[in-house]
A = this chain, B = another copy of it.
Amino acid sequence: MTEDDTRTKVAAAERAALKLATLPDAERSAALHDVADAIDAERERVLEANERDVTEAEALLEQGEYSQALVDRLDLAGGKLDSIVEMVRSVAEQEDPLGRTLSARHLDDDLDLYKQSVPIGVIGTVFESRPDALVQIAALSLKSGNAVILKGGSEAAHSNRALYEIIVEATADRPDGWAQLIEAREDVDRLLGMDEAVDLLMPRGSSEFVQYIQDNTSIPVLGHTEGVCHVFVDREADLEMAGEVALDAKVQYPAVCNAVETLLVHADVAADFLPGMVGTYREHDVTLRGCERTREVVDVAAATEANWSSEYGDLELDIRVVDSLVDAVDHVNTHGSKHTESVITEDADRAGRFMRGVDSASVFHNASTRFADGYRYGLGAEVGISTGKTHARGPVGLEGLTTYKWYLEGDGQLVGTYAGDDPRPFRHEAFDGEWSPGRLSGE
């Protein structure tokens, strides 16, 4: 694709975004049900395209270039298409994130200010090899009234193209151009320079890739580079609970960003807790490293300074013994990635100090870090998890794809009236009300 082709697609998305912003929820939701119907009806077409991707991936697997896990993620055989159709319908049924009155204030008599949720505009997304990611991101974008530029992994190229075409056919004219597919890496680089047209970038992928995006664009970026999550076993912990949570947080699905990478243990309970915990981890094939004080209690390899800030995404874990809750908080704030942490303690006050003290998107008390997820949070679905601290933090659902507009209804008010030597005062009085453009002069 040439530079001009990319610009044409992005310009079409910009035009579509302005139309989408005025489309009522009923139409956006109906379009999504049509997408679900179309995917359901065109299973053959999707599976045929998917088989080509899987066959190509299996060839590369044999050459040692891909992992079995990647091939598994790619494969849409089995019940995966059912869940995709189901997911689109569930997004359609979510409460409308647009048109919500976030605040309403009488500035003066007949001068009312409303803050109302609206779509962001054009969202650029780059995502990994699972073809269901394309459908999920497109569905969330349409429901939230945003136009979207989609760039999937090259491994899933055939599946993505088939799904994209089905989505576009099912939503023709509602409005045209709201979803755009780009396929080459150089298109992504062009996208990074289009800060006049693209309002938000949401990359998902390796740390290096997300970092590359952040370093090479002035468009706001939502996402996370790393998930270095912690479980802190406090001196007041229920040690049985601590063992169960620490195990679930590591082994239930180690490849994901909300799995724990470092276990912090209060010195007062280290001797009681660690021997049993280490035994349990070993039964689950977890490779362990520890600080010097951990190694005084259990026989594990020595952790290096670099280990404390490493994301493994695998059955590996580092253990550190800390002298106090303050030291645990300091460790997290120094070595963590502001993603998700959990404290295990029976002391509510100590839980609060840890939870307020660590500067992370999600902080849990007596629960596994693995709960940090848009679906589990009840957000319906997620477009990603953000470790940035502006706009949206943690799991990002439909609400994270909205911004707001200020609507002011007057009857001819001038600022001159409220300025100068004898200024009229403002009322500034909050009230319950929805914006509708009804104020007429003299009313």
A residues neighboring B (CB under 8 Å) = 17-18, 21-22, 105, 107, 111, 113, 120-121, 195, 199-200, 214-215, 218, 220-222, 238, 241, 244-245, 248, 252-253, 333, 344, 346, 348-349, 351-352, 355-357, 359-368, 370-372, 376-378, 388-391, 393-395, 403-416, 418-419, 426, 428, 436-441
Name the residue on B nearest A99 (C-beta). B356
Q: Is the CB of B348 within 8 A of A438?
A: yes
Question: How far is it, in angstroms, between the C-alpha of A21 and the C-alpha of B107 when the chains are bound?
Answer: 32
Q: Is the CB of A419 within 8 A of B121?
A: no
Of all A-B residue pairs in the complex, the 4 with the closest CB atoms, nearest first, are A367-B410, A352-B437, A378-B428, A370-B415
- DSSP class of A's interface residues: helix, strand, loop or mixed? mixed
Q: Is the CB of A406 within 8 A of B362?
A: yes
Q: Is the CB of A18 within 8 A of B111?
A: no
Supplied contacts A370-B414, A393-B406, A394-B405, 5 more A-B pairs, CB within 8 Å: A21-B356, A199-B390, A220-B388, A253-B419, A367-B411
Question: How far is it, in angstroms, between the C-alpha of A120 and the C-alpha of B406 when the chains are bound?
Answer: 23
Which of A356, A365, A415: most chain B Cβ within 10 A? A415
Name the residue on B nearest A236 (C-beta). B440
Question: How far is it, in angstroms, between the C-alpha of A360 and the C-alpha of B426 when the chains are bound?
Answer: 24
Question: How far is it, in angstroms, between the C-alpha of A360 and the C-alpha of B120 when the chains are bound?
Answer: 11
Q: Is the CB of A366 within 8 A of B410?
A: yes
Identical subunits present: 2
Q: Is the CB of B378 within 8 A of A439?
A: no
Question: How far is it, in angstroms, between the C-alpha of A21 and the C-alpha of B352 when the chains are bound?
Answer: 13
Name the residue on B nearest A195 (C-beta). B214
Q: Is the CB of A378 within 8 A of B248?
A: no
Question: How far is it, in angstroms, between the C-alpha of A9 and the C-alpha of B416 when the chains are bound?
Answer: 43
Q: Is the CB of A408 within 8 A of B214?
A: no
Name the residue on B nearest A356 (C-beta). B22
Tell which of B390, B403, B406, B411 touches A366, judged by Cβ atoms closer than 8 Å.
Answer: B411
Question: How far is it, in angstroms, between the C-alpha of A439 and the C-alpha of B351 when the chains are bound?
Answer: 9
Which of A359, A363, A371, A440: most chain B Cβ within 10 A? A371
Tell which of B333, B370, B411, B438 touches A18, judged by Cβ atoms closer than 8 Å.
Answer: B333
Question: How far is it, in angstroms, between the C-alpha of A426 and the C-alpha of B376 when the chains are bound?
Answer: 7
Question: How far is it, in angstroms, between the C-alpha of A423 and the C-alpha of B404 when the chains are bound?
Answer: 37
Chain B neighbourhood of A344, CB < 8 A:
412
Chain B neighbourhood of A221, CB < 8 A:
218
Q: Could you give 8 example pairs across A and B, Cβ below 8 Å?
A: A113-B378, A244-B412, A252-B419, A351-B437, A352-B436, A363-B407, A366-B413, A372-B406
Known: A348-B437, A365-B408, A441-B366. A248 touches B389 (CB 8 A): no
Q: Is the CB of A414 within 8 A of B199?
A: no
